[in-house]
Amino acid sequence: MNWKSKISGALVATLALGSLAFTPVIAKTDSTKIVAGPQAVTSQSTIDAYYQPAAGKTGAALKASLHDIIDNHTEVSYDTVWTALKETDQDPSNVNNVIELYTGKSISKNSNGGNVGQWNREHVWAKSHGDFGTSMGPGTDLHHLRPSDVVVNSARGNLDFDNGGTKYSGCDCNRDGDSWEPPTRVKGDIARMIFYMAVRYEGGGEIDLETSENVNNGSNPLHGKLSTLKAWNKLDPVDAFEKKRNDIIFEKWQKNRNPFIDHPEYATAIWGN
C-alpha cells in the first residue's frame, strides 16, 4: 500500500467513525456546537463572539472587560467537582483515568479520596490565599481545580509559585520555604489558572484576588510570583488538553471560559512584559 492509499483509507475511516460518534451529541438548536460529555468542543466562531466586547482593549480596561465576560458563572458544589474533574482531566488515551497535575501520572478515576496513593482536588490558587475555603465560588471554581496525588498536593501546600529550591521526590518539582516549582509541562497551565482567578474575582460582593510579585503571601488574597508566571505562560504554550478542559467547563459546567487559554497574549496586554 502506498502512502496515498494509506492516507485515503485513514480519512474514510475517520469520517465514518466521526459521523457515528458525534452525530448524537450535536445540539439540534446549534449545529456548530457539541454540548454533551467529555467530547465537548466549542467552535472558533463562538469563542470569537465571546471575546468581542474586549476587542481592542488593553491594561485595566481589558481586565475589566474580561471580568464582565466571565463573571456570574454557574457555580458547582465541592462534591460535584469530583464528577467534573473526571471529565475535564480525563486521560486522552484511557477513558477510565485522569491525569494528575504535578506528577503527570495517569490514575484510575475511582482512586479518588484522601489516602496515600489516591488523587484529590488541588486548588491551584491556594485556598488559604484569601481564605475562601471549599464553599461555592472560588473554592469550587473548576478553572483552577486539578486532580493531584494526595501526598504531592500536601507537599505543595499553600506555597506561591516560583522557580528554584531543591528537588521534591514526588514529582519533577522543586521547592523551598516560600515557593513551589512544578514541571515545565504544566507551568503555563498554572500561570493561566492564576491569571484567570485574578480577573474572575474582582470584589463587588465577592473576594478580590490579585497576582503579586511577592511570595510568602500568607492568607492575603494574593498569589505570586507574577513575573515568573508571565514567563511560564510563554515557556509552556496552550495545548490540546488545556483547550479541551476549557471547552468542557464552558459547555457543560460553568458557562464561562478561561480567557488566558483562548488568548495567552492577554496576560502581557494586562500585566505588561
- Residue ranges in contact with Ca ion by CB under 5 A: 162, 176, 178-179, 188-189, 198, 202, 208-210, 236
Element spanning 179, H or E: strand 179-181
The residue (of 176 and 213) whose beta carbon lies closer to Ca ion is: 176
How many whole angstroms separate alpha carbon 227 and alpha carbon 1? 53
Closer residue to Ca ion (CB): 75 or 178: 178
Residue 38 Cβ, how far from Ca ion at the closest point, in Å? Answer: 19
Nearest to residue 225, comparing CAs of 157, 271, 170, 173? Answer: 271
Q: Cβ 195 to Ca ion, closest distance in Å?
A: 10
Q: Minimal CB distance to Ca ion: which residue?
A: 179
Task: State which residue, 149 or 210, has the beta carbon closest to Ca ion.
Answer: 210
CA distance linking residue 94 with residue 106, whole number of Å: 8
Cα–Cα distance measured from residue 178 to residue 61, given in angstroms and rounded to the nearest whole number = 32
Residues with Cβ within 8 Å of residue 240, at least 6 apart in sequence: 92
Check: CB of residue 102 under 8 Å from CB of residue 173: yes
Which DSSP category does 248 fall into? Answer: H
CA-based nearest residue to 67, from 221, 214, 199, 248: 199
Could you tell me the smallest distance in angstroms from the CB atom of residue 15 to Ca ion? 30
Give 94's strand partners.
91
Closer to Ca ion by CB, 131 or 176: give it.
Answer: 176
CB of 40 to Ca ion, least distance (A): 20
Q: Is the CB of 92 or the CB of 117 nearer to Ca ion?
A: 92
**Least CB distance from residue 171 to Ca ion, whole Å?**
14
Q: Are the beta carbons of 195 and 229 closer than 8 angstroms?
A: yes
Provide the grid cell at 249.
Answer: 467547563
Q: Least Å distance between CB 249 and Ca ion?
A: 16
Of 87 and 210, the one with the shorter C-beta distance to Ca ion is 210
